[in-house]
Structure 1
Amino acid sequence: MTKNAWGEEDQGPEAQQGAQPVTSSESPDKRSESREWRLIEKMVNGLHVEHRRTRRWGIFFKLLTFTYLFALLGIYFYGKTPDLDAVSSDEHVAVVQVNGPIAESEKANADSLVWSLRRAFENEHSRAVLMRINSPGGSPVQAGYVYDEINRLKTKYPEKKVYAVISDIGASGAYYIAAAADDIYADKASLVGSIGVVSASFGFVDLMDKLGVERRMLTAGEHKGLLDPFQPLQNTERQFWQEVLDTTHRQFIEQVQAGRGERLKEDPDLFTGLVWTGEQALDLGLVDGLGSAGYVARDVIGVDKLVDYSAKGSPIEQLIDRLGVSMAGHLANVLGVGGGVQLR
């Protein structure tokens, strides 16, 4: 046995032949198990990272949602206030929009219209008040509230005239409101009039008999089930309800006559519920002239500037309308199957 240059003993060939190659002490099964654990560990770490990423995005979207909701609430509480231009020191014509069906649940409800009209009259810089009307009518009660308030405000502010300008349609309850104005204008093709009352529903008595459905309704009061669509309409109830409609119609006619006075022409069809074009309505005395809101402001009142005083619905209400949630109720109002009396 010899020593090499580093002082280590140099084993002979026999010893070298007996030497075995250096190998890992782990068996193949243990190495396979180790790789599996590393894969599991990597997978768990990946899931953890993904979870944290998802949680961060979740927090972000929650903050974004709350910010959006708070913004909507802010606009909701300030949305009914007119624009800053409305509180203007310049002389202007105050505009109040009457759009869509006139009903408590609609945009054109008495509370909103009365609120807007009061603001329009109160502003000392508004020369006149102009109602821009595009409505098929609706509730006689809501229309009556607005009619009475216009007359009250005209008495309180005698220096300010009220103009009604009908665009596409100003019929029934909408014309009821317009009749309170000092002057009414419309386009030559506008639909004007429809001075009448309607109450419509359906009867399902025969259908229930065919289907074998039994109606069970208990009432206290002989006529408490008046106009129930699932039982026959009695002649006495028909006569009673007709009297209600006739009374409402008479009230409507009286208010139109009080507002229009001698300008109305004698015509047997005037209060029958018929509707006329603006040109025909001019001949009948239902309107005083033909023209748009801009024309009335510029050439009749003599002021170019128009400022909208209409109450603005909240973004939530606008979103609901756009999504069509109120479509069924609106359709019922248009078709006259809402169960109430309507001026149409």
Structure 2
Amino acid sequence: MEKKMQVYISSGFDALTEEHELVKQAILDANHFPSDLYYSEDTSPSVNIHMGLMTRLITDSDVFILILGEKFGPSFFMNTSQVNYEYLLARELNKPIFVFRISNDILRTKVDSGAFSLEEVYESHHRARFRGFKHRITSQNAVLNINHLEQLKTYVMRSLSEAEVHLGLNGWIRAEKHPAYQEVEKLQRELEKVKSKQQILIRETSRPAPESRQTKLGDFTYEEILYALTSRSINIDEDDAREFGLDKTHLTLLELLIEYHALLADGIPEVKTKPLDEMLKVHLVKVIQPLGLIEVTQQTIGEIPFVTKKLSANGFTLIGKIYSGAFKEINI
């Protein structure tokens, strides 16, 4: 099956329009799918809707390409530019990132030819922020310097080939839909559960014997928590269950928690990500967070805050007591 990748292109759209379109054409010539999102105060929807669309496109993309010029780009939300937000989101989502820096000779030609003004090509309003942005980009990534446009097309094609061969990207049709991929994912999850179980059992065996169901875990008793998890259940579409590596389509929230506690231990980003993450947020996290089993952490990358929801200390304690046999009627 030939792999087709979705490639998100990030750049300023005015002075770098020619370069942007060249990259887009190179992606098409390589039989992949380019994606991007242009913002205009006059024609684009609200900032929140625009951010949601942008987040969805970057989340669904396999590769992130940044065309770096000498302008920060339009500042329109959260006191930063779209290009900066796109880059920070791509890093947060661990997307493979390729950076192509347009040389000053190319940029200067745009001004000298009269096609663009100096202010349209070079940053004049947010110079300090742009210097910080450019330093972050060049220090965190391998950067390919572009001295002429034909070189840009060649480098893009080469980078896409490298991504196909070496980076194990999902591609379209997305690999997670393939039965072999799903089986590997399931085995990896089982291994994570075994490792997690071993770690939790070590932690639990060093503690006193389990207490009554009426003992409180935070603000709720074990009885109340277990009732909330066993009295609620969900039905999952057969195709989704197969994609998620599940053997059945009907599960209680307790079964869901036990199945995916290792994933919750690592944390699920608040931004829209994989379908499995979204399913857990909609059906499980919204129930166990008020019970104190989920904690919310926030990390600021650059100027953008990213929120993650992960299993709390009480969540680990509950899982540990289940695995250590504190509740005999629960079979693991």
Give TM-score scaled by structure 2 length: 0.24
Question: Which structure would you say has the larger RCO, counting Cα contacts within 8 Å and 6 or more residues apart?
Answer: 1
Larger gyration radius, structure 1 or structure 2 = 1
